[in-house]
Homo-oligomer: A and B are copies of this chain.
Amino acid sequence: MAGPGRHFLQIPGPTNVPDRVLRAMDMPTMDHRGPAFADVGKRALDGMKSIFKTQGQVVIFPGSGTGAWEAALVNTMSPGDLVLMYETGHFATLWKKLADRLGLRTEFIEGDWRSGADADAIETRLRADTAGEIKAVCVVHNETSTGSVSPIADVRKAIDAAGHPALLMVDTISSLASLDYRHDEWGVDVTVAGSQKGLMLPPGLSFNAVSEKAQAAAKTARLPRAYWDWADMAGPNETGYFPYTPATNLLYGLNEAISMLHEEGLDNVFARHQSHGEAARRAVRAWGLEVLCNTPAHCSGVLTAVMMPEGYSADAFRKVTLENFNMSLGNGLSKVADRVFRIGHLGDFNDLMLMGTLSGVEMGLELSGVPYRRGGTQAALDCLTGRQQTRAEDAAE
């Protein structure tokens, strides 16, 4: 990472890992079968329940988010089962491809990558499935490639309204611990998550939260599975242990990260990201640029994807911000490659880091010769100031 000063890692994950978390991991590895480990494992498992907001089983894998996608499917599905998925963007598409490769049949409700899932469309499709062929509905909560958020509670209502027995599976890889999420209350059957976003860890851990209905489905599901098998975890997890070697040092970090989230308060964390999303969008509009997500209610507090003016390369722009301002921005993926750049504002992040980030974008636009209007940074600053004033007034009351 070239250049003096702190690198601004403003991709939408992996995120800036707090010193406390890095330092918690920077300790000797311990015997994962010894008595002292039980506390580490128990804290991690219980802690993750508090983050998923579930009383049910939580599974922690050494692996990436992609592995937790696979785990969700191999534990619950049988070869040839039909899965209904929603095309919110690049990551929804990757999950679909993964399902295809595992031997499932998949059906995609197409989207234009500029909003979250449409619960009505899901309800319509489920109502049409009178034969009950659809075994699962898979939705990405926060589509990392676009910055659009799907209304999970509404999707649940849609499934219920259709009276359909399909499992509801939700990818929260880039939303968990950044956006409001409620596994139990929203009736999600399998939640998929990863360590390197809102949980403020390096990549290397992934998670499933599992409802009783999903556990029941696992009993008859016939896709082959071993590494990802939930059932193997349940026994050892009860006393804080794991059936095979866990990623010990990442678990140390996870426990520290969970402590930090609760010290701040999850609602405060969510509000912080909402505020940063709002400020970032104000900046984008003030620059005269367009936010990729065009559905206001779906705009994300986690990242803001910005469309480049026609004829300008987003990747060339990102190169300018990296080389001149020591800041990494996210690139556009597949359909929107080189057409959008993504500003990550999730994880361990605050107002001044956002202002530095937006300043870097504004200076990068100027240096890249992209047509824009000055003043986006100022607009964000005004927005954040307003929020702080409201907070101060609230505190004073």
A interface, CB within 8 angstroms of B? 1-9, 11, 13-17, 19, 22-23, 25-36, 61-67, 70, 79, 98, 101-103, 194, 196, 202-204, 223-227, 229, 244-250, 260, 264, 269, 272, 322, 324-328, 331, 348-353, 355-357, 359-360, 362-363, 366-367, 374-375, 377-378, 381-382, 384-385, 388-389, 391-392
- Contact (A378, B374) CB under 8 Å given A203-B29, A328-B31: yes
Residues B374 and A388 in contact, CB atoms below 8 Å apart = no
Residues A17 and B29 in contact, CB atoms below 8 Å apart = yes
Taking the nearest CB of chain B, how far is it from the CB of A198, in angstroms? 11
Closest residue on chain B to residue A202 by CB atoms? B249
Residues B322 and A34 in contact, CB atoms below 8 Å apart = yes
Q: Quick one: which of B11, B103, B366 contacts A224, CB cutoff 8 A?
A: B103
Copies in the complex: 4
Residues B204 and A4 in contact, CB atoms below 8 Å apart = no
Residues B355 and A326 in contact, CB atoms below 8 Å apart = no
Taking the nearest CB of chain B, how far is it from the CB of A194, in angstroms? 7
- Contact (A29, B6) CB under 8 Å given A102-B224, A224-B224, A385-B363: no
Residues A367 and B352 in contact, CB atoms below 8 Å apart = no
Q: How far is the CA of A273 from the CA of B130 in the complex (A)?
A: 65
Q: Quick one: which of B226, B355, B357, B367 contacts A377, CB cutoff 8 A?
A: B355
- Contact (A70, B34) CB under 8 Å given A7-B28, A19-B27, A355-B377: no
Given contacts A25-B26, A363-B384, list 14 more A-B pairs with CB under 8 A: A34-B328, A63-B63, A64-B247, A65-B244, A66-B226, A79-B224, A202-B249, A202-B250, A325-B352, A351-B360, A352-B357, A352-B359, A377-B377, A378-B378
